[in-house]
Chains A and B, each alone.
Chain A
Amino acid sequence: MDIKPIEPGAIELLDMYYYMRLGRAIEERLELEYKGGKLPSAIYLGRGQEAIEVGAAYALEQGDVLAPTHRDMISQLPRGLTAKEVFTNHYARANSLTRGKGEANYQGDLKRGLFATVSMLPDFYPVATGAALAFKLRGEKRVAMPLCGEGATSRGDFHESLNIASVLNLPVVFVVINNGFAYSTPPFKEMKLSDVAERAHAYAIPGVVVDGNNIIECYLEVKKAVERARDGGGPTLLEAKTLRMRGHAGHDAAKYVSKELIREWAQKDPIDRFEKHLTNQGLLDEAGIKDMTGRVTQEVAEALKFAEESPYPEGQEAVTDVYRE
């Protein structure tokens, strides 16, 4: 089956650009607040991963489901997660999506096709595979997309999911964001393969490697896999190569990452690259970039203010919602 997705038009491209910029602006603010000791929460930043985060999520349609991890806040933005929701959740407020029960990026909203992640990696690989099974059983043309890092692919859950999805020919697109580190551990200590995508061969499904810092490539390749899955072509394993540009979490100065490596990847910054592309296409200019800066800066400032002014939950709420009444 040869699927050629339609190239994104100007509206889609600028939309993706907005989400990348918004994601980065939110994270820059979170980092500032964290360093200032204002956040009760840990932070897990996806800086440098904006192209695959946005490109993958943008390739989904209404009705599809996305299962991000601790690091993938940015992937949730194209699915409708707002800056206010990001800040209220990090600030542990009563009006956040988890009502103060879950931390950091651990929020979700099934109505928007967003699973609320848990820490244990990659617990949502099987869960998303199960969502895909439900779609198949009901004859719905919907697709499930779990994300995880290269480190999480060492766990059995990862392999069990790929195998079952392959055997049952389920509509899942397994996206692995290979950002060069699992906490302090580089991939060569985790696996002998140089491409995670090679793991696909063991399950007789397609394995694809993309440049994780090139949003158009990310989007088109993921889109291909999504449409294949939707048309009954079964699962795909897609690996996006990128670099985690911050420590594992806010407290981690990542001294184990060489400065040269960071410098090298800063040259490949996904937002800079996309801006150049859009500028070359005549879709963006200096003024447009400035406008976007103004727009996302304001959005983030308003969201932060909103979160800070929002009340905390009452203590007794600790025992509510353990069960559905």
Chain B
Amino acid sequence: MSTANKPKETSYIEAISQALWEELERDGNVFMLGEDIGYYGGAFKVTEGFLDKFGPERIIEMPIAEEGFIGMAIGAALMGMRPIVEVQYADFISCGWDQIVNVAAKMHYRTRDAVPVVIRGPSGGGLRAGPFHSQSPEGWFAHVPGLKVIVPGTVHDAKGLLKAAIRDDNPVLYFEHKYLYRRIKEVLPEEEYVCHIGAAKVQREGSDLTIVTYGAMVQTALQAAEKAQAGGVSVEVVDLRTVFPIDKDTVLNSVAKTSKAIMLYEDTRTLGIGAEVAAIIAEEGFEHLDGPIIRVSAPDAPVPFSPPLEDFFIPQVDDVIAAIDRLSAY
């Protein structure tokens, strides 16, 4: 077969670039703010070529001043623009914390004014990048009413959910997992599509047990499910996609079918997204359960640098298999 006929595969990072590009083309109110996003094309090259196409009025390079430019994005959004902020690593979003949780998150509640701002950045570990370039900040923000938080785990969703975020009238935090950037590829639909914020997706159907997960752990869950299948256990993988708001129905429907649930997340254990989903299942799906809800997550520690430490820290396929074995005994 000639490769010429093969449909083109898109990587996770290309999907993000495409979503930004298409939205910048579609809506003149959309513009970007961030460090090194112009001439350099961004630390991870997400915006390579954007400056040439859209010009310095829409691809605006910022000094190192996160609190300043996140606040500015909020101000421009209140004036009817649709700014997208790139933080160089998601970890640095902590420098703009106050503007996000106090100004953006609480505006509509008080005044009914829309704040259509997207703040996005590369999150997550696995790249030996140490405690300040590997964090999973979604839990910090999912706890703040007024914010929507997206962590896409597939190429398809990376594109469709970013478009949805840009079109949403609320402040949306979009954490792209940098481990996935160039590691996963998919053939995307040729026609335009937008995903729905707040809808989970069953990424693999199964009947014995449900894994609820999101982000890079979707891949880990799918690998574990494949392995478990060989051992005769049929695993369903529910990808939350949006970690706030949480799609309860998809989660509860799956648990109603399988009666067993594992929460898999890369963030630290206590008060993580999986802890919240476990609470939802315990409250609203109790009668379906045949065993304990098990969390497989990072431990309550900073993300360490050294390879053996980081491998211990980040949930691995074998950790998920161990949890599947444990739960299968019920």
Query: B-contacting residues of A (Cβ < 8 Å)?
Result: 40-42, 92-94, 98, 100-104, 106, 118-121, 151-152, 154-156, 182-185, 189-191, 256, 312-319, 322
Instruction: Check if A316 sits within 8 Å of B312, measured CB to CB.
Output: yes
Instruction: Check if A100 sits within 8 Å of B304, measured CB to CB.
Output: yes
Instruction: Check if A40 sits within 8 Å of B65, measured CB to CB.
Output: no
Q: Residue B39 contacts which of A98, A182, A184 (CB distance < 8 angstroms)? A: A184
Taking CB atoms, residues of chain A closer than 8 Å to B65 are 154-156
Assess A256 versus B301: contact at CB under 8 Å? Given A156-B67, A317-B309. no
CA–CA, A104 and B311, complex, Å: 18
Is B21 an interface residue, CB under 8 A from the partner? Answer: no
Q: Residue B302 contacts which of A119, A256, A322 (CB distance < 8 angstroms)? A: A322
**A194–chain B nearest beta-carbon distance, Å:** 15
Is B28 an interface residue, CB under 8 A from the partner? Answer: no
3 nearest interchain CB pairs?
A100-B306, A315-B312, A119-B132
Instruction: Check if A41 sits within 8 Å of B91, measured CB to CB.
Output: no
Instruction: Check if B309 sits within 8 Å of A184, measured CB to CB.
Output: no
Q: Which residue of A lies closest to B309 (CB)?
A: A318
Instruction: Check if B130 sits within 8 Å of A103, measured CB to CB.
Output: yes
What would 12 A/B residue contacts be, using CB atoms closer than 8 Å? A40-B307, A41-B305, A92-B305, A100-B306, A101-B304, A103-B129, A120-B94, A120-B95, A155-B66, A184-B39, A190-B63, A315-B309
Q: Which residue of B lies closest to A89 (CB)?
A: B305
Is B313 an interface residue, CB under 8 A from the partner? Answer: yes
Q: Which residue of B lies closest to A106 (CB)?
A: B130
Tell me the B91-139 residues at the A interface (CB within 8 Å).
Answer: 91-92, 94-95, 128-133
CA–CA, A152 and B40, complex, Å: 18
CA–CA, A118 and B88, complex, Å: 15
Which interface residue of B95, B305, B311 has the most chain A CB atoms within 10 A?
A: B305
Q: Residue A184 contacts which of B40, B63, B310 (CB distance < 8 angstroms)? A: B40
Q: Residue A101 contacts which of B39, B64, B306 (CB distance < 8 angstroms)? A: B306
Q: Which residue of A lies closest to B61 (CB)?
A: A189
CA–CA, A201 and B311, complex, Å: 49
**A95–chain B nearest beta-carbon distance, Å:** 11
**A316–chain B nearest beta-carbon distance, Å:** 6
Q: Residue A318 contacts which of B94, B129, B310 (CB distance < 8 angstroms)? A: B310
Instruction: Check if B310 sits within 8 Å of A98, measured CB to CB.
Output: no
